[in-house]
């Protein structure tokens, strides 16, 4: 799971002041993928939200499938999730967490998080509507993300 910040010049419901873009409006997508990069779930929030409160709603997107999940789920998280609260939440959810340590630089290629970063790149490069979000309602943004996810899955199946 990784959060991805995008510009949202017209955003209302799902937008907030972006901390990395001089306070302009932006949205954050917290994306959950499987080990091959297939998007499984996504949660939309304002860009001013921290990553760790989005962990529970993003993990709960798995419950919509209705089948039994594996007993242990391995979650690779970036340094934004490095806290005691996040570790306690992972234990409560039954997930095994690999969290990057704050202050320690690690190249993305050496971690398993590159799979999520690649999926975020597919979202932003392949679908202009997701790279600069001009929609005002979260339901519309979620519909575009669902369409993009369907296209990504079909492309992966064809390969």
pTM of the full structure: 0.77
Q: DSSP letters along 114-148, please?
A: HHHHHHHHHHHHH-HHHHB---SSHHHHHHHHHHH
- Identify the band that residue 2 occupies on the pLDDT scale cut at 50, 70 and 90: low
Break the chain down into helix, strand, coil percent, rounded to 5: 45, 25, 35
Q: How many angstroms separate the CA atoms of 129 and 152, rounded?
A: 15
pLDDT at 80: 78
Within 10 Å of residue 101's Cβ, how many Cβ atoms?
Answer: 9
Q: How many angstroms separate the CA atoms of 116 and 120, rounded?
A: 6
- Where do runs of H (alpha helix) occur along the chain? 55-60, 84-93, 114-126, 128-131, 138-158
In DSSP terms, 28 is beta-bridged to: 5, 45
**Where are the domains positioned within the chain?**
2-67+115-158
What value does the mean pLDDT take over residues 137-155?
A: 88
pLDDT tens profile 11-46 = 667 777 676 667 778 888 888 888 888 888 888 888
Joined together, the tokens standing for residue 80 give 């934004």
């Amino acid at each position: 799971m990784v959060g991805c910040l995008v510009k949202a010049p017209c955003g209302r419901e799902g937008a907030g002041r972006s901390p990395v873009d001089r306070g302009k409006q932006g949205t954050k997508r917290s994306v959950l993928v499987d080990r091959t990069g297939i998007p499984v779930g996504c949660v939309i929030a304002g860009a001013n939200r921290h990553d760790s409160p989005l962990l529970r709603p993003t993990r709960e997107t798995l419950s919509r499938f209705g089948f039994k999940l594996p007993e242990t789920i391995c979650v690779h998280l970036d340094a934004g999730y490095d806290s005691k609260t996040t570790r306690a939440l992972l234990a409560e959810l039954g997930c095994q967490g690999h969290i990057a340590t704050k202050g320690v630089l690690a190249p993305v290629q050496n971690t398993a998080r590159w799979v999520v970063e690649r999926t975020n790149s597919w979202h932003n490069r392949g679908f202009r509507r997701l790279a600069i979000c001009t929609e005002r309602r979260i339901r519309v943004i979620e519909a575009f993300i669902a369409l993009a996810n369907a296209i990504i899955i079909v492309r992966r199946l064809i390969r």
